Structure 1
């Protein structure tokens, strides 16, 4: 009888069916196999069915041809899609470049306008500072004039002026008398 040995090699499972130098008689139903002797063991190998007709082979060839045609069609479609993608990418790159250039121009215009506004703002600040200084000087002058006006309207001031006038008259009269 044949012994079945199972061997493992590096985590790969192999079933090795080996016959110990004994030849068994095979049943008549096994017409499509033959024994090939190799070394100390016999291995059973399936042979081709010689009774197949040309139609099966032709059908297999037709199936293979259809598969090749389908694969060729798929490859062609993929190439078209790749070309379309490349074209879209080129279009997007050129669009992006145009947008970047436009944005750079707008940034430059903004910077120019901003500098102009800063210059105008500096001019307004200088003018405002000058006006503030002028206003401060005018306010000081106004305070001085207001103080003088207040003195003129003051009763004590008027009496002092009248006394000073009387004194001046008296002094003038004494001078005339003496001369």
Structure 2
């Protein structure tokens, strides 16, 4: 799987799926979540409300992922995942890795060839950029090794700041074998 790291706006990426760093309610919020909801249009909120009324009455758990159509986005799907919130004691890095793993697994099951991730957990949920990058690296490289027949060809990390972009580049460069 090819990996790219860039600073930019995930809502403009022409990929099969973008990942939303959602909150457990799935009903929008700030940061990446709010930007994706605004760009996708009101249909995304309606789809998320339907998920809450049917499959997810208690919301989406940290580390889990669920997909909706992309609606007005260039991406065909939005994969929503909830990062662990360090500020409320959710400090297990395995839960952060699970966000990336579950998103990759879901994208693969949808037949996606390309996926774009934000820095899940790296905003208001308090994870340091290098911790998010380590979780992302472990998930993407592990997924590629354990799913050789996957259709996923490209994983983009579309980051909101130069500092986060640098954190990802540093970790990915240091961990290359």
Which TM-score band applies after superposition, normalised by the shorter structure?
under 0.3
Answer 1 or 2: higher relative contact order, Cα 8 Å, separation at least 6: 2
Structure number with the higher strand fraction is: 2
Structure 1 or 2, whichever has the larger Rg, is 1
- Could you state the TM-score of these two structures normalised by the residue count of structure 1? 0.12
- Could you state the TM-score of these two structures normalised by the residue count of structure 2? 0.13
